[in-house]
Amino acid sequence: MTKKHYLTEEGLEKVKNELKELIQEKKKKTKDGVPEVLHSEDLNPEYLDFRQDLRLLERRIMKLDEVVKNAEIIKSPENKRKVELGARVIIEADGQEDQFTIVGSLEADPAEGKISNESLVGRKLMGKKVGDKVTVASKVETVYEIKKIEYQDEV
Amino acid sequence: MKEIYEFITSVGKLKSEGRRGWKIHDIENPETTAAHTFQLALIVWTVGKRKEDFDLNRAIKMALIHDICEVHSPDLTSYDAVGIDENEKFTRDDIENLKPKKGRPTLKQRKKMKKVKRELESEAMDKILADLPEEISEDFFELWREYEKKVTPEAKFVKQADDVTNLLQGMEYWKDGHKGIEYRLWVRRGKEKIDDPDLIEFLVMIEESL
């Protein structure tokens, strides 16, 4: 089964731009055609490098193309009182307040406060509501208290 | 060959400079950027070997070059971000007077730091690669750009493996008696950041060793 890629509109735009750049790059690489040395491929480093570069580039293009084709835009859920993809969650953990936006794995960027729904904390927060206390337990136990849940169309 | 020689000797400086994050914790003879890179490359290689449809060679190369910009750019940490006044404008000129503080940066502080760090690192990368033959510099720059953008599975994996490598070293220092390292915060942060299933498994191993 094909994997769905959950992205915000902004995230999908970013992937599309990256794809566009890679396609341009491929055009640039091939605009002068395959190097002259094509017919003497035996141990010719220039040709082998060219072929390898192109193969990698094509692979990356294919991957991003697959993401764009199977992208599903994250929409605000009907029940906005629960944490779902796209929710901005204000939490308190170890006495400190913090905020995360829960996104799909592709778009996660912890430095920007976007955490993946597949991370240990993201998984636990999904489906919870304000006032819930979520324990991420293992040897170092942390309790996250959900203080506020917001969605883009409410901000 | 002269350009390659100069590049190699330049990057060689990363073998002797202790990482700033450990210096902030008063760790004597701290791990260097080169030592960190060595361990990261091995984590990427060994853990990445489990993955299917994954360009392991590309990921290892990405790990090897991910911090070479530090030859010319400051090794800024999240503690430096905590030192940023989130209500004031923050530019590269403010780096010199930045006083690192322990704790966790706010979202605003993280964003401000990310912007300036990216600008400085991009310039440093241009500088370090400037004289290398084009077929090498283009390759390096492309790998580094991919790593920074974190769009491909390889880049995402290497970035998360980088976080795991830092966590591993931090916890080793903590076990060695450097109790100034806020191990609870570090582990917590790891559980928020890491979503790669193999690296989550590795993270749990680190936690269990504490």
Inter-chain contact B151–A105, Cβ cutoff 8 Å? Answer: no
* Structure confidence at residue A46 as a pLDDT band (50, 70, 90): low
pLDDT tens for residues A101-133? Answer: 999 888 888 888 899 999 999 999 999 999 999
For A116, the closest of B135, B152, B195 (CB atoms) is B195
Q: Does A120 touch chain B (CB under 8 A)?
A: yes
Closest CA to B195 of A89, A77, A46, A114: A114
What is the rounded distance in angstroms from the CA atom of residue B88 to the CA atom of residue B75? 22
Comparing alpha-carbon positions, the chain A residue that sits nearest to B104 is A96
Instruction: Give the residue extent of every domain in chain A.
Output: 5-73, 88-154
Q: Do A94 and B156 touch (CB under 8 A)?
A: no
| CA-to-CA separations, A31 to A26, A66, A139, in angstroms, rounded | 8, 25, 57
- Cβ of A59 under 8 Å from any chain B Cβ? yes
Q: Summarize the confidence of residues B166-192 as an average pLDDT.
A: 88
- Nearest CB neighbour to A112, from listed B111, B149, B191: B111
Q: Look at A140 and B187 and tell me if their CB atoms are within 8 Å.
A: yes
Tokens of A55: 């193969």
Banded model confidence at residue B17, pLDDT cuts 50, 70, 90: confident
Q: Do A113 and B55 touch (CB under 8 A)?
A: no
Q: Where are the domains of chain B?
A: 2-208
Please indicate if any CB of chain B lies within 8 Å of the CB of A83: no
Q: Hey, what CATH topology would domain A88-154 get?
A: Chitinase A; domain 3 (3.10.50)
Which range of A18-32, A139-153, B35-49, B78-92 scores highest in mean pLDDT? It is B35-49
Say yes or no to pLDDT of B87 above 90.
no
Q: Residue B180 above 60 pLDDT? A: yes
CA A109 to chain centre: 8
3 state DSSP class of A73 = strand
What was the pLDDT predicted at B36? 96
**Which two structure tokens, joined as six digits, stand for A3?**
């994997």
| B41 confidence band (pLDDT: 50, 70, 90) | very high
Looking at domain B2-208, which of 1.10.4100.10, 3.30.70.100, 1.20.1560.10, 1.10.3210.10 is its CATH number? 1.10.3210.10
- Which residue of B lies nearest to A65 if distances are taken between CA atoms? B152
Per-residue model confidence (pLDDT) at position B11 = 92
Count Cβ–Cβ pairs < 8 Å, chain A vs chain B: 83
CB contact under 8 A, A110 and B152: no
- Residue B85 has, within 13 A of its CA and on its CB side, a CA count of 7
Chain B hits for A113, Cβ within 8 Å: 107, 110
- Cβ neighbours of B210 in A, within 8 Å: 139-140
Looking at CATH, the fold of the domain delimited by A5-73 is given as: Helix Hairpins (1.10.287)
- For residue range B116-130, what is the model confidence (pLDDT) as tens digits? 888 888 888 888 888
State the helix-helix crossing angle for B153-175 and B197-208, rounded to 10 degrees: 0
Tokens of B209: 């060793």
Q: Read off the pLDDT of residues A4-44 as tens digits, 9 standing for 90 and up.
A: 888 888 889 988 988 898 888 888 877 766 655 555 555 56
Percent pLDDT > 70 in chain B is: 100
